[in-house]
């Protein structure tokens, strides 16, 4: 009995120890559970706090992007507005200034103005790409012709440095592909220009090749190869960054902002490709633009796109209302249109524009956007609400750079032009809305008075006596003309065309003036298809002048 009692006591002790351990484990589990619960709550709180901070950071970033966009739009307007007058009046003066030193000053103004405009466009392009607000326009284009255009654009710079510029397009390169031609041209201009800039001797080669077409697509490679400075290995990965340039590079000697490569790379990526570089320091570099799965089409599709040549027209009598608070901008438009039979009416703000529109019933209205008191958008909405004016075509002239603003302008206006506006752009838009007669390009015409074409009867007696001087001047220009016809150097053609336009105006021989203006426009638009034919007309003009004099 005693043994059984001891045994029972022993079992009780064992059970008590087990219960104690169980209770200890329970308390331990409760503690762990409580700690886990606290940790989970703290973790959730930390996550919520992190999410709140992330949301705040995102909101701040969005606000910063909006502020940047607003700043860029504002700066674009503030800079483009005076640039409109600078470049516009420089264009007009180029046809009238004859003194060599004054022409040198004028060329400096035009060159500096275009450089500034290029910088503005580069900064805006980069900002649009980074913000995802740049849209490409994929259309059938002749990429091979774009490559050959680089020869005409850069032949003078290459020649000045004694560099050989070579354009090589493979025989099996597609005749027509679907790309954004404007952006492809921008990329090739950036890369070819850089190659020439950093090459002191030797050559720069642009080579276009394509792999075998399959299923209507092909892979294209545009290689720009130079024998220039080359890029150190430790800097190759950095040159495509915005505002990045090769370390040690002389800013005074080479200039630039470091934006061209950054923009070119981003544009290439947007077109389904990329840019890579192979370089040996001191020996040269190869930049390869590789575009994947590019659509291949036919030359007929390219031709269907039409050309950009400004039509030769004579407008019927009409009224054009110009609404702009900047007097120089109004003066520029008036000067552009003074050779046509168009009455130009000027208003300095939206309120005055509405009053003059009601009074004169214009055939078309050119409306600036940013004006004090009553701006262009508000004034346009007023005009749309006026029963007598709601159908009047309104062309908005703006310095806006952002996509959102463009969409608003498309909705409320019939068309819009971006500053700075050239004469060619303005006339091209007016042709869409104003009655006009189309004139054959090979006819020497201008609008004098109402619907009259120019004739020798328009010459005064004094002008007739001065024609032999013009005849000699044209004879002395034959060698220059022949060289231009062979080389098609864009810069030299623009200078020659402006000079001929000015001489035609000075001597009253308007066929020469109109021809010079048309030639300058084609050179500005890089219309390589039309330039040879237009240049060939120079000899016909000389013969017409000889006949007029009676030689």
Q: Is the pLDDT of residue 304 over 60?
A: no
Stretch 11-18: mean pLDDT = 66
Q: Which of 371, 372, 379, 366 is nearest to 333 (CA)?
A: 366
Stretch 486-493: mean pLDDT = 74
Q: Is the pLDDT of residue 405 over 70?
A: no
Question: What domains are there in the chain, each with its CATH number?
Answer: 139-303 (3.30.565.10), 313-438 (3.40.50.2300), 456-549 (1.20.120)
The model's confidence at residue 303, banded by pLDDT at 50, 70 and 90, is: low
Q: Partners of 167 in the beta sheet?
A: 206
Stretch 158-181: mean pLDDT = 89
Stretch 325-345: mean pLDDT = 81
Q: Is the pLDDT of residue 449 over 50?
A: no
The model's confidence at residue 206, banded by pLDDT at 50, 70 and 90, is: very high
124 neighbors 72 (Cβ within 8 angstroms): yes
pLDDT > 70: percent of the chain? 68
φ/ψ (deg, to 5) at 128: -65, -40
Choose between 120 and 187: higher pLDDT: 187
Stretch 520-528: mean pLDDT = 66
Strands (E), 89-239: 139-141, 164-169, 177-179, 203-210, 217-226
Q: Is the pLDDT of residue 202 over 90?
A: yes
Signed CA dihedral, 295, 300, 302, 306: sign only: negative
Choose between 40 and 179: higher pLDDT: 179
Long-range CB contacts (within 8 A, 24+) of 329-337? 329/81, 329/84, 329/85, 329/368, 329/397, 331/85, 332/84, 332/85, 332/88, 332/89, 332/92, 332/421, 333/366, 333/421, 333/426, 335/88, 335/89, 335/92, 336/88, 336/92, 336/423, 336/426, 336/427, 337/426
State the Cα–Cα distance between residues 520 and 531, nearest whole angstrom. 9
Choose between 239 and 135: higher pLDDT: 239
Stretch 221-243: mean pLDDT = 79
The rounded mean pLDDT for the chain is 76
Choose between 167 and 22: higher pLDDT: 167
Q: Which of 187-196, 358-367, 387-396, 514-523 has the lowest mean pLDDT?
A: 514-523
Q: What number of helices (H) and strands (E) belong to the chain?
A: 17, 14
Give the relative orientation of helices 423-433 and 327-337 as an angle to the nearest 10 degrees: 70
Choose between 400 and 142: higher pLDDT: 142
Tens-place pLDDT, residues 234-284 = 777 777 764 444 444 444 444 444 567 887 888 888 888 999 999 888 889
Stretch 91-115: mean pLDDT = 69
User: What's the confidence (pLDDT) of residue 256?
Assistant: 47
Q: Is the pLDDT of residue 209 over 50?
A: yes
393 neighbors 412 (Cβ within 8 angstroms): no
Choose between 95 and 282: higher pLDDT: 282
User: What's the confidence (pLDDT) of residue 415?
Assistant: 86
State the Cα–Cα distance between residues 154 and 69, nearest whole angstrom. 34
Choose between 286 and 505: higher pLDDT: 286
Choose between 309 and 296: higher pLDDT: 296
Choose between 104 and 143: higher pLDDT: 143
Q: Partners of 287 in the beta sheet?
A: 224, 277
pLDDT > 90: percent of the chain? 13
User: What's the confidence (pLDDT) of residue 393?
Assistant: 92
User: What's the confidence (pLDDT) of residue 167?
Assistant: 93
Q: Is the pLDDT of residue 211 over 80?
A: yes
Q: Which of 174, 149, 186 is nearest to 268 (CA)?
A: 186
State the Cα–Cα distance between residues 27 and 366, nearest whole angstrom. 85
The model's confidence at residue 203, banded by pLDDT at 50, 70 and 90, is: very high
Tens-place pLDDT, residues 35-87 = 766 666 776 677 777 777 777 777 776 676 666 655 665 665 566 667 766 77
User: What's the confidence (pLDDT) of residue 260?
Assistant: 72
The model's confidence at residue 447, banded by pLDDT at 50, 70 and 90, is: very low
Q: Is the pLDDT of residue 437 over 80?
A: yes
Q: How much is the pTM?
A: 0.46
Q: Is the pLDDT of residue 419 over 90?
A: no
User: What's the confidence (pLDDT) of residue 446?
Assistant: 38
Choose between 389 and 423: higher pLDDT: 389
Pairing of strands 394-398, 415-418: parallel
Q: Pull the structure tokens for residue 527.
A: 């219309």
Q: Which of 37-51, 226-240, 354-368 has the lowest mean pLDDT?
A: 37-51
State the Cα–Cα distance between residues 523 and 112, nearest whole angstrom. 19
| Residue 377, Cβ density class (10 Å: 0-12 exposed, 13-18 middle, ≥19 buried) | buried
| Cα 329 → chain centroid | 21
| Cα 324 → chain centroid | 24
State the Cα–Cα distance between residues 103 and 109, nearest whole angstrom. 10
The set of residues, in sequence order, having a beta carbon less than 8 Å from that of 42 and lying 6+ positions away, is none
Q: Is the pLDDT of residue 222 over 90?
A: yes
User: What's the confidence (pLDDT) of residue 345?
Assistant: 92
């Amino acid at each position: 009995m005693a043994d059984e009692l001891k045994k029972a006591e022993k079992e009780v002790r064992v059970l008590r120890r087990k219960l104690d351990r169980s209770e200890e484990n329970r308390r331990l589990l409760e503690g762990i559970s409580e700690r886990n619960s606290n940790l989970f709550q703290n973790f959730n709180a930390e996550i919520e706090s992190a999410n709140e901070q992330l949301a705040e950071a995102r909101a701040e970033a969005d606000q910063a992007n909006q502020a940047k966009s607003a700043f860029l739009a504002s700066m674009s307007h503030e800079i483009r507005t005076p640039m409109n007058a600078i470049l516009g009046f420089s264009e007009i003066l180029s046809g009238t200034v004859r003194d060599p030193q004054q022409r040198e000053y004028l060329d400096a103004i035009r060159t500096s103005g275009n450089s500034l405009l290029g910088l503005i466009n580069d900064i805006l392009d980069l900002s649009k790409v980074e913000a995802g607000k740049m849209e490409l326009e994929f259309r059938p284009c002749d990429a091979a012709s774009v490559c050959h255009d680089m020869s005409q654009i850069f032949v003078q710079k290459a020649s000045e440095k004694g560099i050989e510029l070579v354009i090589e397009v493979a025989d099996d390169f597609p005749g027509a592909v679907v790309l954004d031609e404007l952006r492809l041209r921008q990329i090739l201009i950036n890369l070819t220009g850089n190659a020439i800039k950093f090459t002191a001797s030797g050559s720069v080669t642009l080579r276009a090749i394509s792999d075998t077409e399959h299923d209507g697509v092909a892979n294209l490679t545009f290689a720009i190869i130079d024998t220039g400075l080359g890029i150190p290995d430790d800097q190759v990965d950095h040159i495509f960054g915005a505002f990045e340039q090769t370390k040690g590079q002389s800013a005074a000697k080479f200039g630039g902002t470091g934006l061209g490569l950054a923009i070119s790379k981003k544009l290439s990526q947007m077109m389904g490709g990329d840019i890579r570089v192979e370089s040996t320091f001191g020996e040269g570099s190869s930049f390869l633009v590789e575009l994947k799965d590019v659509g291949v089409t036919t030359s007929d599709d390219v031709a269907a796109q039409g050309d950009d040549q400004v039509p030769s027209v004579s407008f019927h009598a009409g009224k054009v209302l110009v609404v702009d608070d900047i007097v120089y901008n109004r003066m520029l438009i008036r000067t552009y249109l003074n050779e046509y039979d168009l009455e130009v009416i000027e208003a300095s703000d939206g309120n005055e524009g509405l009053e003059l529109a009601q009074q004169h019933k214009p055939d078309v209205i050119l409306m600036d956007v940013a004006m004090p008191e009553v701006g262009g958008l508000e004034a346009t909405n007023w005009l749309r609400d006026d029963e007598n004016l709601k159908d009047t075509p309104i062309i908005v002239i703006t310095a806006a750079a952002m996509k959102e603003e463009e969409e608003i302008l498309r909705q409320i206006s019939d068309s819009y032009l971006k500053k700075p506006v050239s004469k060619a752009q303005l006339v091209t838009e007016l042709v869409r809305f104003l009655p006009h007669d189309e004139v054959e390009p090979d006819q020497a015409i201008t609008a004098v008075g109402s619907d009259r074409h120019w004739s020798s009867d328009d010459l005064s007696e004094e002008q007739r006596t001065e024609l032999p001087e013009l005849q000699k001047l044209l004879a002395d220009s034959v060698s220059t003309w022949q060289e231009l016809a062979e080389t098609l150097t864009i810069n030299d053609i623009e200078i020659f065309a402006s000079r001929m336009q000015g001489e035609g105006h000075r001597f009253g021989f308007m066929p020469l003036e109109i021809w010079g203006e048309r030639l300058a426009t084609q050179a500005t638009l890089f219309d390589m298809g039309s330039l040879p034919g237009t240049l060939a007309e120079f000899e016909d003009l000389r013969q017409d002048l000889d006949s007029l004099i009676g030689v």
